[in-house]
Structure 1
Amino acid sequence: MSMWRVYLSGEIHTDWRERIVDGVKALDLPVEFSAPVTDHSASDDCGAVILGGEDKKFWYDHKGAKVNAIRTRTLIEKADIVVVRFGDQYKQWNAAFDAGYASALGKSLIVVHDPSLTHPLKEVDGAALAVAETSEQVAEILKYVILGQLDR
């Protein structure tokens, strides 16, 4: 069985990624995971630290976003499936961008969020092939699409 590549995008303040990875490991599925840099300060500061500081916040953030985009674009392009998680605490504009980019590339997209976000994410949900509420549901979706097995 071939290896499936799954990119995990979205909020960085909860353990949702680890729960998917643990669920997939428990199911012994052939999945290789990738993700953006989840160290918030490293992600924010990478451009200025590597390429030189900026006095204006716009250019500071601009440099960081572009350096991060090298990783994000490359890994999304290589992915078979892109999972994007939206949390309640912060607006994840970058996650919405990742979902749109993945959709534009024709990637299989799974979106994860609380039901309270259904209305604000209706366009993102409309592009997704599945909308889940939990990491455990994502692991079960992966089991089904990879193995073709459904536990009833």
Structure 2
Amino acid sequence: MRIYLSGEIHTDWRDQIIAACGDLNLAFDGPVTDHAASDDCGVEILGAEPNKFWHDRKGAQLNAIRTRTGIEQADVVVVRFGEKYKQWNAAFDAGYAAALGKPLIVMHQDEHQHALKEVDAAALVVAQTPQQVAAALRYVMTGALLK
């Protein structure tokens, strides 16, 4: 089973899920989590842009190839909304996954519940911790509950 891990890139939540699911036959994928590389890939590969709009656009379009392909190939999409930053890209990824009919697991804290109510309504699982996501994936794969 292929799992696409989308969203917040400032904490180790992906590593926690991958480690907790290490004994399962899961393939994990996600966006480039090196923030500088993700922001500057377009101009590094295609040439400098003096206008920040076009600088960002080049990077966003290049990253979209990876993101769209990863979501389309995924069996399950996990989207994490962090506490510190507004993640419009995460909301976009969740909407894209939902539009494709992908099973969606959303992870965020209670303080974002109201703002994400439509995203939560599209999700099959709404979790708060990487451990809950890992337990959900384990249950889906094996039918076993963690004790």
> Which of the five TM-score ranges fits, normalised by the shorter chain?
over 0.9
Q: CA deviation digits over 1:103-149, x for unaligned, max 9?
A: 00000000000111101111111110000000000010001111112
Q: Distance in 2 between matches of 1:128 and 1:151?
A: 22
- For residues 30 and 136 of structure 2, what CA distance do their matches in structure 1 show? 19
Task: Give TM-score, length-normalised by structure 1.
Answer: 0.94
Pick the aligned partner of 2:16 from 9, 16, 19: 19
Q: Could you tell me which of 84, 104, 107 is aligned with 1:112? A: 107
1:1-152 equivalence runs, <5 A: 4-25=1-22, 28-151=23-146
> Quick one: structure 1 residues 127 and 73, their matched pair in 2 at CA, closer, same or farther if it must change by over 3 Å?
same
Q: Distance in 2 between matches of 1:86 and 1:30?
A: 26
Please state how far the C-alpha of 1:61 moved relative to its aligned partner.
0.5
Secondary structure at the aligned position of 1:124 is classed as helix
State the alpha-carbon separation in 2 of the partners of residues 151 and 131 from structure 1. Answer: 18
Q: Percent identity?
A: 65
Count of residues in correspondence between the two structures = 147
Task: State the one-letter code of the partner of 2:50.
Answer: D
CA-to-aligned-CA distance 1:14-34 (integer Å, 9 cap, x gap): 110011001101xx1110000
Task: Give distance in 2, aligned partners of 1:37 and 1:150.
Answer: 32
Aligned AA for 2:126? V
1:18 maps to amino acid: D
Per-residue Cα deviation, 1:83-114 (whole angstroms, up to 9, x for no partner): 00000100011111000000000000000001
Q: Secondary structure at the match of 2:21?
A: helix
Distance 1:73 1:99 in 2: 11
Q: Name the CA distance, whole Å, in 2 between partners of 1:59 and 1:122.
A: 33
- Aligned structure 1 segments of 4 or more residues deviating by more than 3 angstroms: none
CA RMSD of aligned residues (A): 0.9
Alignment partners' CA distance in 2, 1:150 and 1:55? 54
Ranges in structure 2 where 5+ consecutive residues have no aligned partner: none
